[in-house]
Amino acid sequence: MVKLKGMKSTLLCLIAVTGLFSLLIHFQIQWQSKLTLVNFLVYPLLIVTAIFATQFNRSRIAILCGFWLLFLVATNSPSINTKSLMLNKQWLFLYGASLLMLLALIKDRALLSVHLVSRLIFIALFGVLTFFWLQLNQNLNSLVPQTPLWKSVSPYIPITIPLGLIGILLMWRSIKNHDLTLTALLITFIVWYLNQLSIITLPWSLIALVMSALYLLAVSTDSYYLAYRDDLTGLPTRRALNQLALSLGRKYTVAMLDIDHFKKFNDTYGHDIGDEVLKLVAARMTEVRGGGKIYRYGGEEFTIVFPRKTAEQAIPVLDKLRQSIANYDMVIRSAQRTGKTSRNVKKNNNKKVNVAVSIGVAQRAPKQSFEQALKNADLALYRAKKKGRNNVSQ
Ligand SMILES: Nc1nc2c(ncn2[C@@H]2O[C@H](COP(=O)(O)OP(=O)(O)OP(=O)(O)O)[C@@H](O)[C@H]2O)c(=O)[nH]1
């Protein structure tokens, strides 16, 4: 079954932006007097956002800022024929939406690289294609017999149907991929759609300003996750654990969890499947956590911190977790590989495996530092291994 990982974040972002725009509409009088300031601020903010996004290799956001800049310059500049721009409103509407679709389909690459050329070619191509699409639809009307069915469908073919399809695609990609850039693209599409159809009538400069702030938020949240989340398991990293240590009170319990004989496992099934096991153990841990905060300490070691809990309170939770991992039939889905990267891998498609874990627990003693408590948990883990593994030791 397809897991829709980004459902929650997409919905939250949509609710937040809907709320924000409702507020903007409600408080029109307040910001209208400051519109000159908005018109002035939007350009530097878009440029700063584009630079920031480029720094963090979020080239799609940088390109998006570029579009907004060009669009604002074109609509506000007296030297550019705004009339013809407005005459081509349908084209602009469709072109903008199709560019958002293009950005949703490509990957983030370093902006100033060879990829930029191919991207610019695609961007120009989309402009030409949307222009010809609208021309074709005009001519089609004179060529196709005017049946009642054609008459009822034809008004929707040039704009409404393509936009509907683009909207569905953006929504799907945002929900499925759990990617803030895709959510930002979806929100941009919705705002673009609503303002082009005059369903909301806010100045473009104000919309671009809000969108720019949203992009900044998306890039900085992404960068935060990059720094504090482990790529493989999605769990917070040791760096995040060190941050937590600063906020802990006097009473807490620390547990170190280590997968038993993981090296043997890696050697038998290959490193790729070892990675899959790490992911599955992490997923199991997030399900049985009992108030504990989970971190990937490094390699096949994980740390669980129970703020405000004694070891006696934490041990039953940890033992339940240990049992749940030991009794869990992990189904490893992996393509057959024979390359150098996967050592000793035979056919492992949909293979069921079982792993066990050893856990060491230590409650923080008075005047003890977090590092000392962690060290004690590590010593307890060593005892758990000595005892024969697959157990919880204090
Ligand atoms: N697949 C994979 N393996 C890793 C990763 N990080 C560390 N390892 C492997 O984890 C193994 C750890 O092995 P050891 O520390 O010897 O311990 P063990 O085999 O788990 O044995 P015990 O802890 O004594 O039960 C090594 O083979 C590492 O290469 C990773 O991210 N992915």
pLDDT tens, residue by residue, 332-364: 665 444 444 444 444 446 777 788 999 999 999
**pLDDT above 90 for 126:** yes
- Residue 100 vs residues 173, 345, 371: alpha-carbon distances, Å: 12, 41, 48
Please tell me if the CB atom of residue 164 comes closer than 6 angstroms to any atom of ligand 1. Answer: no
Residues 6 or more apart whose CB falls under 8 angstroms from that of 345 comprise 269, 270, 272, 273, 334, 336, 337, 338
Confidence at 84, pLDDT banded by 50, 70, 90: low
Please tell me if the CB atom of residue 57 comes closer than 6 angstroms to any atom of ligand 1. Answer: no
Atom 7 of ligand 1, residue of closest alpha carbon: 299
Atom 6 of ligand 1, residue of closest alpha carbon: 299
Of ligand 1's atoms, which has the minimum distance to the CA of residue 264?
Answer: 19
**pLDDT above 80 for 86:** no
Pocket test for ligand 1, best of 231, 232, 263 (most atoms within 8 A of CB): 263
Q: What is the pLDDT of residues 23-78, one digit of tens each?
A: 988 888 888 888 889 999 999 999 999 999 999 889 999 999 999 999 999 887 77
User: What single-letter DSSP state applies at residue 113?
Assistant: S
Using CA atoms, how far apart are residues 3 and 49, in angstroms rounded to an integer?
32
Please tell me if the CB atom of residue 257 comes closer than 6 angstroms to any atom of ligand 1. Answer: no
Residue listed under structure tokens 């991992």: 325
Using CA atoms, how far apart are residues 375 and 273, in angstroms rounded to an integer?
30
Atom 8 of ligand 1, residue of closest alpha carbon: 299
Beta bridge partners of 352: 331
Which class would CATH give 238-393? alpha beta
Reported pTM: 0.71
320's enclosing H/E stretch is: helix 311-326
Distance 370 CA to ligand 1 centre (A): 25
CA-based nearest residue to 268, from 331, 328, 358, 348: 348
Using CA atoms, how far apart are residues 277 and 262, in angstroms rounded to an integer?
9
Mean pLDDT of 170-175: 91
Pocket test for ligand 1, best of 237, 269, 276, 300 (most atoms within 8 A of CB): 300
Confidence at 149, pLDDT banded by 50, 70, 90: confident
Mean pLDDT of 7-19: 85
Report pLDDT for 109.
80
Pick the more confident residue, 2 or 269.
Answer: 269
Distance 377 CA to ligand 1 centre (A): 19
Mean pLDDT of 154-172: 91
Helix-then-strand count for the chain, H and E: 16, 7
Please tell me if the CB atom of residue 274 comes closer than 6 angstroms to any atom of ligand 1. Answer: yes
| Range in 69-78, 98-107, 209-218, 336-345 the model is least confident about | 336-345
| Range in 64-78, 164-178, 242-256, 335-349 the model is least confident about | 335-349
Mean pLDDT of 185-197: 91
Q: If you average pLDDT over each of 74-83, 142-151, 260-269, which comes out highest?
A: 260-269
Q: What is the pLDDT of residues 284-316, one digit of tens each?
A: 998 877 789 999 999 999 999 999 999 999 999
**pLDDT above 80 for 142:** no
Residue listed under structure tokens 């992009």: 215
Mean pLDDT of 86-100: 86
Please tell me if the CB atom of residue 276 comes closer than 6 angstroms to any atom of ligand 1. Answer: no
Report pLDDT for 338.
45
Of ligand 1's atoms, which has the minimum distance to the CA of residue 265?
Answer: 19
Atom 12 of ligand 1, residue of closest alpha carbon: 263
Atom 13 of ligand 1, residue of closest alpha carbon: 263
Please tell me if the CB atom of residue 258 comes closer than 6 angstroms to any atom of ligand 1. Answer: yes
Atom 10 of ligand 1, residue of closest alpha carbon: 263
CA-based nearest residue to 62, from 101, 103, 95, 17: 103
Question: Is the Cβ–Cβ distance between 281 and 343 less than 8 Å?
Answer: no
Of ligand 1's atoms, which has the minimum distance to the CA of residue 232?
Answer: 31
Of ligand 1's atoms, which has the minimum distance to the CA of residue 278?
Answer: 32
Report pLDDT for 345.
44
Every domain range in the chain assigned CATH 3.30.70.270: 238-393
